[in-house]
Amino acid sequence: MQEPQFHKLTPRAIRVWQWGNLIGNLFFFAIPAAYAAVFGVDGFHYWMVVVSASIVFIFWMLSVFLTPYLTWKHWRYAIDEKEIDLKRGILFKTRTLIPLSRVQHVDTRQGPILRWYNLSSVTISTAATTHEIPALDSVLADRVRKQISTYARLAEEDV
Amino acid sequence: MSEFQRQHPVAAVSRALDLIRGNFITILVFLFVGAQSETFPFLWWIGGGFAFLLILGVANWWRFLFKLENDLLHIKSGIFVRKNLYLTKDRIQVIDITSGIIQRMFGLVRLDIQTAGSSSRQAAIDAITRDEAIEINNILRRESQKTDSATGEISEIKQDTDEILNRFKIPHKELLIAASTSGSFGIALSIIATVFSQVEPLISESEMFEYLFNMLPSQTDTMMIISIILVFIIFAWLISFFSTLFTYGNFTLEVKEKEMVVSRGIFEKKRITVPYNRIQAIHVTEGIIRQPLGYASLHLESAGYGDDKGTGSIVMFPLIRRNKILNLLNDVLPDYQKEHEGIRPPSRSLRRYLFRSAFFITAATAALYWGMNFNLWIWIFPVLSVYWGWLKYKDAAAASGDDILVMRSRRLSKSTAYIKKNRVQDATLIQSPFQRMRNLCSIQVYVASGDHGKSFRVRDLEYDDGLKLLNDVRKNGVEFSDLLDEQIVSGKVPLPGWNL
């Protein structure tokens, strides 16, 4: 079977995810903090707090230094006249096929971190599901959005 | 009709009842809470709730205005947030005139209007006289067709599309079987639990329990618990029996040239029109009780419109003998290619199926048995779960025809889905680490259905077969020739296999 032309995301995506996880996953330190606030830090509870805090810390470090790289390494996307093909997943590998004739709308989005790195994400919605290509270069994202909407318009129009 | 007008005041009541039905679970929860609080009498909760709903209903009725002008139906609704809905006649797909039990008491009807969008459920006039409804219907449907065609010929053809080509009814015997095997125990049980929580204080206050103890043959605690459970189950069964009977009584499926009409209900009549081009998938469900009896139920997924809950699932036929399914489907949907050579998961995925079904149940059973000294009999559950896993393995299959995908799988009931390839919204191949080790994969396909989608999944197929299925969706059923030399690796099974 002929494979379509797959593209990788831009390596800047790794930085975006690193910053995002660095800030976002700080939230999980609230769990040991809340535990300490409720039960105090005496005896047994001290060890509970230490263990849970170190688990959260390890998770936090991994989410900053390992998973963004792996996510980037496994992300592939391809767009041609007939469909969008997305491959992703570190442990659970998924490959999703979206026929272009099913695409209802495409938008590009840009959060603060994405804007700092001049990136955008492209969101593809069908009548049933929504998929995202995270972190493309803004210019490229716009081109992808146009490409998808042009192809989608060419494709037959009904649900 | 060119002036704004209100509905018949009965709309207020029917609106209030709709609210009760829509928030049934919430109301149940409130009743539970209400029963617990000592300070606030139970009757006040109910009375206040009903008064509130009635006020809401009246306000809704007061603020609901509609007018018909120049082939445009304009509906204003909403108590605080005013919503203006404009329905032009060329966007209207289907108009359904139905009558619920309240409407029928006053000789009124309800008008449902479907457009192509998903906001269609908003466009309904709850209570108007039949004459008005027919007038609106005539203006919005027939009139437009006449003005479209200057000559009389075309309007005649249009008339023909409304003719009923074929009509299917459910026989009484099968309706009874459907009612007695319907699995809507959950709702029934929650109703009973609510009632029981109200009645329970009364029972324990009087010497009802002692009386029961004396009545029952053996007075051990286990027997007591078992008999209470049995009574509960019988009540639940009775409720689900009658609710199914009333919902699906008078079931009729009418086949027209461009649409099919499902009408059902004994007291509360419902009519759903489904144009064929809105059908996204059909699936046949063989319930765990119905399957041994050789029965199944037919459902379809439609885009944009379904029941009130926003799912697009519609019961196409509540109960049918398995060997008659293909005939019915051939009559109703002849363009669906039905028989295929299916792909089964390879034998090495059997252990994954067994593990998935049995693991948690076995662990829980072991904990209960050794931790809490339960009876030896609870080991029947792990055995059953292994059997369940084996059934799931046996029933999992997928096939890809010229323009159609067939996906068969089992949760509790066995479901066979037919999906037109050009209706697939997206197709996904998923591989977990363990599946990758064994070179297996799961396939999941989404179709549009109501406001959200519906997914169908077959697990643990051979990886190459999964890729082939995915590639078949890609081909959109057009370029089939260059796939012919690819060999299917796994065992083959006839799908759907109802004639066996």
For chain A, how many structural domains are there in total?
2
Sign of torsion, CA B408 B409 B410 B415? negative
Contact B474 A82 (CB under 8 A): yes
Sequence length of chain A is: 159
Domain final residue pick, A27, A51, A69: A69
- Burial class, B319, CB count within 10 angstroms (exposed 0-12 / middle 13-18 / buried 19+): buried
Q: Is the pLDDT of residue B135 over 90?
A: no
Contact A129 B426 (CB under 8 A): yes
Looking at every residue in chain A, the average pLDDT score rounds to 87
Q: Which range in A68-77, B24-33, B373-382 is most confidently predicted, on average pLDDT?
A: A68-77
- Does the residue A2 lie in any domain? no
What is the Cα–Cα distance from B200 to B354, expressed in whole angstroms? 42
pLDDT of residue A17: 93
Chain B's closest residue to A131, CA to CA, is: B426
- Does the residue A48 lie in any domain? yes
Identity of the amino acid at B363:
A
Chain B's closest residue to A88, CA to CA, is: B430
3-class DSSP state for residue B373?
A: coil
pLDDT-derived band at B10, boundaries 50, 70, 90 = confident
Same domain, A52 and A110: no
Q: Is the pLDDT of residue B208 over 80?
A: no
Q: Which residue has the tokens 């109501």?
A: B450
Contact B474 A93 (CB under 8 A): no
**Which residues, including other chains, have CB under 8 Å from residue B307's CB and lie 6 or more apart?**
B272, B313, B314
A chain contacts of residue B448, beta-carbon cutoff 8 Å:
126-128, 159
State how far residue A12 is from chain B, nearest Cα, in angstroms: 27
Same domain, A150 and A85: yes
A chain contacts of residue B463, beta-carbon cutoff 8 Å:
none
B470 at A interface, C-beta within 8 A: yes
Same domain, A61 and A88: no
pLDDT of residue B47: 79
Q: Which residue has the tokens 């599309």?
A: B161
Spatial CA neighbour of A8 closest among A152, A93, A133:
A133
Contact A97 B428 (CB under 8 A): yes
Reading the block at residue B150, the tokens are 């200057």
Identity of the amino acid at A157:
E
Identity of the amino acid at B485:
D
Report yes or no: B76 and B122 within 8 Å, Cβ to Cβ: no
Q: Is the pLDDT of residue B486 over 50?
A: no
Cis amide leading into B433 (omega within 30): no
Annotate B191-207 with b (16+ C-beta within 10 A) or e (fewer): bbebeeeeeeeeeeeee
Q: Is the pLDDT of residue B210 over 80?
A: no
Q: Which of residues 95-114 of A touch B (CB under 8 A)?
A: 95-99, 101-102
Q: Which residue has the tokens 């103890």?
A: B213
Sign of torsion, CA B285 B286 B290 B296? positive
- Does the residue A116 lie in any domain? yes
Identity of the amino acid at B153:
E
What is the Cα–Cα distance from A93 to B449, expressed in whole angstroms? 26
Same domain, A81 and A64: no
A chain contacts of residue B473, beta-carbon cutoff 8 Å:
97, 99
Q: Is the pLDDT of residue B296 over 60?
A: yes
Same domain, A80 and A144: yes
Among A96, A131, A158, whose Cβ lies nearest the Cβ of B277?
A158
B426 at A interface, C-beta within 8 A: yes
Same domain, A42 and A107: no
A chain contacts of residue B486, beta-carbon cutoff 8 Å:
1
Same domain, A145 and A80: yes
Q: Is the pLDDT of residue B28 over 80?
A: no
Among B452, B468, B473, whose Cβ lies nearest the Cβ of A97?
B473
A chain contacts of residue B433, beta-carbon cutoff 8 Å:
91-92
3-class DSSP state for residue A85?
A: strand
State how far residue A69 is from chain B, nearest Cα, in angstroms: 18
Enter the ipTM: 0.82
Among B303, B432, B446, whose Cβ lies nearest the Cβ of A159?
B303
Among B277, B278, B431, whose Cβ lies nearest the Cβ of A93?
B431
- Does the residue A104 lie in any domain? yes
Q: What is the DSSP string of A13-77?
A: HHHHHHHHHHHHGGGGGHHHHHHHHHH-SSTHHHHHHHHHHHHHHHHHHHHHHTHHHHHHHH-EE
What is the Cα–Cα distance from B443 to B460, expressed in whole angstroms? 8
Q: Which residues pair with B96 in a beta bridge?
A: B112
What is the Cα–Cα distance from B447 to B456, expressed in whole angstroms? 8
Same domain, A59 and A84: no
State how far residue B275 is from chain A, nearest Cα, in angstroms: 12
3-class DSSP state for residue B388?
A: helix
Max intra-chain CA distance, chain A: 69
**Tell me: the pLDDT tens digits for B303-317?**
755 555 556 788 889
**Which residues, including other chains, have CB under 8 Å from residue B254's CB and lie 6 or more apart?**
B164, B166, B167, B260, B261, B262, B263
pLDDT-derived band at B206, boundaries 50, 70, 90 = low
Q: Is the pLDDT of residue B149 over 50?
A: no
**Tell me: the pLDDT tens digits for B332-384?**
888 887 888 889 999 999 999 999 989 998 998 888 888 877 777 888 888 99
Strands (E), B207-289: 252-255, 259-264, 270-275, 279-286
B467 at A interface, C-beta within 8 A: yes
pLDDT of residue B12: 85
| Alpha-carbon distances, residue A121 vs A104, A113, A140 (angstroms) | 17, 11, 10
Report yes or no: B149 and B166 within 8 Å, Cβ to Cβ: no
**Tell me: the pLDDT tens digits for A91-148?**
899 999 988 888 888 888 888 999 999 999 999 888 888 899 988 888 888 888 888 8
pLDDT of residue B304: 58
Sign of torsion, CA B350 B351 B356 B360? positive
- Does the residue A7 lie in any domain? no
What is the Cα–Cα distance from A38 to B19, expressed in whole angstroms? 41
pLDDT of residue B34: 62
Among A82, A96, A127, whose Cβ lies nearest the Cβ of B428?
A96
A chain contacts of residue B449, beta-carbon cutoff 8 Å:
128
Contact B449 A128 (CB under 8 A): yes
State how far residue A105 is from chain B, nearest Cα, in angstroms: 13
Same domain, A63 and A102: no
Spatial CA neighbour of B93 closest among B272, B270, B253, B251:
B272
Looking at every residue in chain B, the average pLDDT score rounds to 78
Among the listed ranges A143-157, B309-323, B405-419, which one has the minimum average pLDDT value?
A143-157
Spatial CA neighbour of A101 closest among A148, A158, A155, A150:
A155
State how far residue B176 is from chain A, nearest Cα, in angstroms: 36
State how far residue B158 is from chain A, nearest Cα, in angstroms: 22
Same domain, A91 and A135: yes
Taking residues B401-427, what's their average pLDDT? 89
Spatial CA neighbour of A95 closest among B449, B441, B480:
B441
Q: Is the pLDDT of residue B491 over 80?
A: no
Domain final residue pick, A30, A50, A69: A69
Report yes or no: B408 and B342 within 8 Å, Cβ to Cβ: yes
What is the Cα–Cα distance from B447 to B405, expressed in whole angstroms? 12
Taking residues B253-263, what's their average pLDDT? 86
Q: Which of A88, A129, A151, A157 to mutate to test the interface with B (most CBs of B within 10 A)?
A: A129
State how far residue A125 is from chain B, nearest Cα, in angstroms: 9
pLDDT of residue B355: 92
CB count, 10 Å around CB of B401? 20
Among the listed ranges B303-317, B416-430, B452-466, which one has the minimum average pLDDT value?
B303-317
- Does the residue A1 lie in any domain? no
**Which residues, including other chains, have CB under 8 Å from residue B30's CB and lie 6 or more apart?**
B45, B49
Report yes or no: B284 and B313 within 8 Å, Cβ to Cβ: no
Q: Which residue has the tokens 């270069």?
A: A137
Chain A's closest residue to B442, CA to CA, is: A94
Same domain, A120 and A149: yes
Q: What is the CATH number of the domain that holds A115?
A: 2.30.29.210
What is the Cα–Cα distance from A135 to A77, expressed in whole angstroms? 12
Which domain covers residue A90, as residue numbers? 76-154
